[in-house]
Amino acid sequence: MHRIETVQTAYQRIEVWKSAMQVEFRVEKAVHAWWHQQRFLTGLAWDNMIAATLLHPSGLPKSILMLGLAGGTTFHALRHLLPSAELTAVDIDGEVVNLAIRHMHLDDLGCEIHIADAYEWIQSCSKRYDVVIDDVYLAGAADVFRPGTWDQQAINDLKKLLKPDGVLLTNLIRGKGHRTLQSNIRKLFRSTFSQCKEVRTPDGLNETLCGGNQLLHRSALQHWKGHFNSARDRTLWDKISVRSFVKKH
């Protein structure tokens, strides 16, 4: 791969790296978005969110809201798996969205995109969704961070976006410097939802927390394996783990 462009947006410095088959957006040497002509999975955080979406009790969520779109890596896979789903996204950085349109075929997904602060946008949102994916991170001086205050009110605001059988997903980093926030949000999920699960890939440092009144089991994901044409995608799909985490007494 070679770097073809560097863009300083209002929120981050993005390097665009490209080869004949794929594109990466890199921020502080970390890959923040990825697109491939023939594959959908990476073994990293996006796989968790893709798989967790399919734990919706229907198995076929019809409406998905993503807070923090970036280059649309998760939505590319979900559009492939759920061609008729209504996809909506909010991102504060319009320039990264424009880069994704130029380099990652974001326009092909047919999703509705709002350029706004996600946590402000949801305060006036009256629509309800089958799945809400919260992947809001900003680039700090040394690492990414989650903006806003994470308390019961914050998670209640996200829960209000859900249909009665809806599912909330939150992407979290598990590494050094992120463990306190990770622990706090896990506690909030336990106190808010009847069922909670964590979805992980063995090579990634992220987990996706999944909360709802009812969630499918890991076995439900096996159905989707055949939807991937790439042998590498199928191998990565098999590696995804799903575990329940329950309320502590």
pLDDT at 245: 87
Model confidence at 142: pLDDT above 50:
no
What is the residue range of 84's domain? 40-244
| CATH for 194 | 3.40.50.150
Give the percent of the chain with pLDDT over 70: 92
Residue 138's pLDDT band (cuts 50, 70, 90): low
Statement: residue 151 has pLDDT above 90: no
Q: For residues 85 and 10, what is the distance between their CA atoms, to the nearest angstrom?
A: 31
Domains of the chain: total: 1
The answer to whether residue 27 is domain-embedded is no
- b/e 92-125 (16+ beta carbons within 10 angstroms → b): bbebbbebbeebbebeebebebbbebbbebbeeb
Residue 166 has pLDDT above 80, yes or no: yes
Predicted TM-score (pTM) of this structure: 0.94
- Encoded tokens for 220: 């439900």
Asked whether residue 248 carries a pLDDT value surpassing 60, the answer given is: no
Longest dimension (CA), the chain: 54
Asked if residue 197 has pLDDT above 50, the reply is yes
